[in-house]
Structure 1
């Protein structure tokens, strides 16, 4: 039986060179952002292209980022909002995904079609009705206004369904024979088995809502409730858009939690994305 030929050394080197070049191009804005956060104002628009500053101003820039506006409070708001959204999405989406993956009920195909259809509707198309609803409920300018519109996640239902379909039906039947109810089965048997997909979805959810600028800009009017991207806007307003060193230092501090979160979860993230695509 013939085996496929391994790619030559030259082909592997060329492939890695292309991937490294694309990765560097993608990272270049982030590298430049860090570089600006280390420079004094006199060097930011200097004609020479230097990544490292001649005169280091890192301490001044990062101290200004933490003291001119309540940046740590913005980070705390972002953590509260992202955690609240994520918990609500998992609690609602996972049992729904189990129903679509392992149960048959009247209207199953229609309901699944509606879930898929909702994935095609951009959030901006529903922003005005949601805003009016929250206005009449008296929830504008609150944490609830930042969390409620995102608690139902069609993408989460889709991703969890793909993972749950990969679980053998024999495991489900064995749990039922042991006397487990459907809800207990979902959280004690199926949920742990789908943990890589849960972590992958968590990364998608946290990154999306941590970086969201559009919705907080609509529903938040006070700095006390500002999320990190909105807090960066307040920072720019404070400095009239001219003191870019502290502004970039603030953006670096806003980005660090996401980088750390992904580095700790990257193995599970890759497993989850692969695991979720096993069955259609």
Structure 2
């Protein structure tokens, strides 16, 4: 019996793309409005218009005032130092730990992995008070180290890399051991390079999370010179008293741009890393 194609079969791809376009529009709308506000004059900011060309281009004034009121470049430099410092230590700790959990047979391996999974459920706020008291006791508040310390150990990275390393062929590891490779050499020279997409995906997660983190820096930092981007914007709003929204949105645009650029460069590795590990 001959089957005729459903008349709705051709509409399915169109409906899927329509839903994706609507979702993308809702996600991008705040960013579009932020950039649009940063180039508008004060008289146009509260006008409900999505037309991208303002009647009076006020970008030079808004961006100039944003850079003049607070040290935006210093905030960005602080964010780079903190995010890269955290990421480097996270990788140095998480990669060997994940390799051990994935490929080294030892007593208690399953228990340790269960503890790693359980630690994913512990929020940062639970550890904030004891960490703050310890840093204050050693006079380490208002330092880069204070902002980075709670995030040096990433249980999410250990979990993500362990899922990736489990798929690495055991035969290659056995051959490397016969050739005289140490476990650290196998980890860093063989297994880790094969997991570069997963490492890239985690790097995006880590950089975005800590670039946007306001909770912990607001607790341990009170010096404007050490403020990362979110805390810097808080200082900016205090300086501006919430009146000059054009300059405020200009500052927000400048501090958001590095994340967008970094993600655009790493998007392929990010998507590949997520699909390889099965993390959704």
TM-score range, shorter chain: over 0.9
The alpha-carbon distance between structure 1 residues 48 and 22, as it changes in their structure 2 partners (threshold 3 A), is closer
Deviations 1:187-237 (A, max 9, x none): 111111010000000000000000000000000011010000111111111
SS in 2 for 1:121: coil
Match of 2:99 in 1: 98
Given that 1:32 and 1:51 are in contact with CA atoms closer than 8 Å, whether structure 2 keeps it comes out as no
Deviations 1:54-92 (A, max 9, x none): 101011111111121110000000000000000000000
Which deviates further from its counterpart, 146-155 or 8-17? 8-17
Task: Give the 4+ runs in structure 1 shifted more than 6 A.
Answer: none
Match of 2:258 in 1: 257
Aligned length: 274
Match of 2:134 in 1: 133
Q: How does 1:1-280 map to 2 (within 5 A)?
A: 8-46=9-47, 50-277=51-278
The alpha-carbon distance between structure 1 residues 172 and 58, as it changes in their structure 2 partners (threshold 3 A), is same
User: Under a length normalisation based on structure 1, what TM-score does the superposition of the two structures give?
Assistant: 0.95
The structural deviation recorded for 1:173 is: 1.0
The structural deviation recorded for 1:277 is: 2.0
Give RMSD over aligned pairs: 1.5
Any unmatched runs of 5+ in structure 1?
Answer: none
The structural deviation recorded for 1:111 is: 1.1
The structural deviation recorded for 1:167 is: 0.8
Any unmatched runs of 5+ in structure 2?
Answer: none
SS in 2 for 1:42: coil
User: Under a length normalisation based on structure 2, what TM-score does the superposition of the two structures give?
Assistant: 0.95
CA distance in 2, matches of 1:182, 1:63: 54
The alpha-carbon distance between structure 1 residues 275 and 47, as it changes in their structure 2 partners (threshold 3 A), is closer
